[in-house]
Amino acid sequence: MKFTDGFWQLRPGVAALYGQEAYDIWETADTPDGPGLVVTAPTKVIAGRGDTLNRATLTVALSSPAEGVVRVRIAHHVGGAAPLSFDLPGESSAGETVVDATGGELRTGSLVARVEQGAPWSLSFSSNGRRLTGSGAKALGYMTLADDAQVDPGIVGNARAGTPVGRPRTFVHEQLDLGVGELVYGLGERFGPLVKNGQTVDIWNADGGTSSEQAYKNVPFYLSSRGYGVLVNDPGHVSFEIGSEAVERVQFSVPGEVLEYFVIDGPTPKDVLGRYTALTGRPPVVPAWSYGLWLSTSFTTDYDEATVTSFIDEMARRELPVSVFHFDCFWMREFNWCDFEWDPRVFPDPDGMLQRLHERDLRVSVWINPYIGQRSPLFAEAASQGFLVRRADGSVWQWDLWQAGMGLVDFTNPDATRWYQDKLRDLIAQGVDCFKTDFGERIPLDVEYFDGSAPDRMHNLYTHLYNKAVYDVLVQSRGQGEAVLFARSATAGGQTMPVHWGGDSTSTFPSMAETLRGGLSLALSGFAHWSHDIGGFEGTPDATVFKRWTAFGMLGTHSRFHGSQSYRVPWQFDDEAVEVTRIFTRLKMRLMPYLFQQGLDAAATGVPVMRPMVLEFPEDPAAAYLDRQYMLGADLLVAPVFSESGEVEFYLPAGEWTSLLTGETVHGGGWRRETHGFDSIPLYVRPGGVIPWGARSDRPDYDYLDGLTLRVFPGGEGEAEVMVTTPDGRSETFHADRGDVTR
């Protein structure tokens, strides 16, 4: 949100108080993290005793919740209720402080935060003696808006749905320096350019599709090309101006009286993500079966058990491996979402059907959301027990946008959470293996929560509580390592409850490209696993789009055929679509020893399986802006084809790269233009890569050690160490001579 009118002036109706100096600095043990610094920053340089009267100050506290991480808390008035913050499972105490006549320092690992004594205000962050960023003149701001201020924070979000942000009167902002050539990434799933410089980004979950500036997964964390990250520890509306107001700075602001953020050390982008996910939660291991193809009924199509069986029979007849069958919304009766009951008109024998699906070695996923329609028998039950979010007058909050008269489950109420979870336990006992947790973004503000949480802070955080309620049931019922969601909305920490998919795209090449940009941005926000609707959700793709999207969709962690108004079985398009599905589904199954290990590594390090090129090649300036290709794990480069003609342009970093599909070797360090048929895609192995190659192509969850081949590719030297872990947890480490090229 922009407060200024150019460099010198404020926008009409905006009043600003800036921290002008570090008037005094003292050491304290009274911080959330143990030793720290507290700084008084008056909003005027204090020249005499009289200047201390009638004068606002900003109190700045510095501490360290983990090695290599500095917490900065800026407060105007501290007497109000403490604002909500994110869960920080990795929080501890790691800082050391020093104060002398020139200023104060907080040291944690190689990261040093230094506040200079006196004026002008100066807070800097350095690592191993190299300055990363800092906060200078007019960076600490306490902003007040008049009623007629020409600033409107209320336009953010789904206005039609009645869930835009409110119009608060006060804000706290910070500005951190942007160096020459410094680039900013992350901030959740964003469908615009991968590099966020020049953008305004509002952290406010909204159901806006993939073709808008809105996003389902907003994360107030960004990663800098200079080797650090910043997390704003506020689950509410955080507004970022990334070189888009003060072009030399990143500005972030929150409503209210307090702003808290963390600066996270690197030095590499992987190191930053490792520290960030250690603090906010690492992604868990997901089951091997979930990497296989998910086949869906789609949304508004007609289906019953006969339809489902026909899909499965035809996939088997065509030798197309399927691992999960997904039932979308209409497994329940219309107007009843959610009542967690199979519609008896179309599924008269759900127990028998689920048993028959399991006998075919399939897992079953069903769609749910956190809403209870008025027609559902559960509405009255939940309302009578106080399990639905209420308005200030005590009435149940309801609206008609989605399900008629629906209410919202209050997950801040432990009894409501248990009640909701019990419904899921019944489905799990019946034979359901996992849940698609849809929605969670359209969360109102004119409500009161059971635990008294501020509605503006709960708007983004609600989805975290919703997904956690579902994920915890799966962990309790299936065990850690077997639990998996298919979730749409998220915020910081959501990476601990995979998998997430990209939301409602359209069935076009441009939408395919924006979907990829969203996934890359999400990966740079700490999410290790990601999926999307192959072929696009809205509309029906033509055969060309479907085939190109299938090749792309199978070269990721999780792959799902799903749409809105039409089935997404490949024979609905043409015979070649069947062959393309067969080729790339089988390819993924052979890659499972590699992919599953990459998932295990992500759980240990926080480095995502799907990686933007800049994450793997931070020293290559050509990789900085690449958003039409990615690394799948450490060794495979994927460049999806976004054209009917098959023409694709992509960049190969320096070295000797080898096509996994053809064995052709090419020298990198530049751009390539290739033309691919539908049965092909640019899929290159990194120089010196060693790919563990599985023996089976019919399923993802097999014994990877049985018949394993190590494929050694040219361009490397020395010995490679390759670990392979089976779905049942057996591991073996292999050593391969990179000079013994096998391909």
How distant, in Å, are the alpha carbons of 32, 185, 274, 515 from that of 259? 15, 21, 24, 32
Residue of 263, 13, 256, 241 lying closest to 142 (CA atoms):
256
Q: What is the distance, to the nearest Å, from the Cα of residue 408 to the centroid of all Cα atoms in its chain? A: 23
- Active-site choice (438, 514, 538, 701): 438
Is 134 within 8 Å of 103 (Cβ atoms)?
Answer: no
Q: Detail the DSSP E strand segments found in 214-358.
A: 218-224, 228-232, 238-242, 249-255, 258-265, 293-296, 324-327
- What is the helix (H) or strand (E) element at residue 604, kind and residue range? helix 592-605
Cβ-proximal residues to 539 (8 Å cutoff; 6+ apart), any chain: 506, 507, 508, 564, 565
- What is the helix (H) or strand (E) element at residue 501, kind and residue range? strand 500-501
Number of H helices and number of E strands within the chain? 11, 43
Nearest 5°: phi and psi at 116? -80, 135
Question: In the annotation, is 265 catalytic?
Answer: no
Residues in the chain: 743
How distant, in Å, are the alpha carbons of 172, 220, 517, 551, 602 from that of 245? 16, 18, 24, 41, 36
End-to-end Cα, the chain, rounded Å: 53
- Full strand arrangement of the beta sheet holding 434-437: 434-437, 363-368, 324-327, 293-296, 559-561, 533-534
Question: In the annotation, is 393 catalytic?
Answer: no
Residue of 391, 491, 398, 399 lying closest to 440 (CA atoms):
491
CB-based burial, 657-680: b 16+ in 10 Å, e otherwise: bbbbeeeebeebeeebebebebeb
Is 286 within 8 Å of 528 (Cβ atoms)?
Answer: no
Per DSSP, the residues of 285-321 read P--GGGGSEEEE--SSS---HHHHHHHHHHHHHTT--
How distant, in Å, are the alpha carbons of 111, 113, 127, 137, 529 from that of 130? 9, 12, 5, 21, 33
Give, in degrees to the nearest 5, the angle at Cα 111 between 238 and 233.
Answer: 20
Is 362 within 8 Å of 355 (Cβ atoms)?
Answer: no
Class of residue 343 by CB neighbours under 10 A (exposed 0-12, middle 13-18, buried 19+):
middle
Class of residue 430 by CB neighbours under 10 A (exposed 0-12, middle 13-18, buried 19+):
middle
- DSSP class of residue 284 equals P
Residue of 468, 471, 537, 463 lying closest to 503 (CA atoms):
537
Other C-beta atoms closer than 10 Å to the C-beta of 130 total 10
Is 537 within 8 Å of 506 (Cβ atoms)?
Answer: yes
How distant, in Å, are the alpha carbons of 273, 285, 556 from that of 604? 12, 9, 19
Q: Detail the DSSP E strand segments found in 362-423.
A: 363-368, 371-372, 407-408
- Active-site choice (33, 116, 504, 533): 504
Question: In the annotation, is 441 catalytic?
Answer: yes
- Active-site choice (271, 328, 441, 627): 441
Q: Which residues are catalytic?
A: 438, 441, 504
